[in-house]
Amino acid sequence: MFSTHQPDATPRQHRVFAEATVRIREALREFLVQNDIPLPEPTISSVWAARAALLTGVVSLEECGPKGMRGYGDLDPQAAKVLQTGLRRLSEMLAQLEAQLTEAGQ
């Protein structure tokens, strides 16, 4: 979720990488077309994929709760309360975003 990489690339390095990525994708597409290799059609809704990822996040958060942490030893009641409060907040945020994606599509 959080990167372990330092954001030390310069703006020029970002631009060089982005431009090279576009050229590489274009070359790959050109190769596939020239060799009569069919390009796969998009079959998965990007909204559906985003909603599925959000729901996966909600489930993952539930697994990080006090019950899920039992295998690591006893959790102080105050720490369990703090953990549950933080996880509830994150879960609500994910659920709210999922609901907004649903509403925006109607």
Is the separation of the CB atoms in 94 and 61 below 8 Å? yes
The pLDDT of residue 1 is: 61
| Nearest residue to 95 (alpha-carbon basis) of 63, 54, 62 | 54
pLDDT tens readout for residues 41-98: 999 999 999 999 999 999 999 999 988 888 888 889 999 999 999 999 999 999 999 9
The model carries a pTM of 0.66
Q: Is 89 helix (H, G, I), strand (E, B) or coil?
A: helix
Tokens of 81: 């309360």
What residue ranges do the domains of the chain occupy? 9-41, 46-104
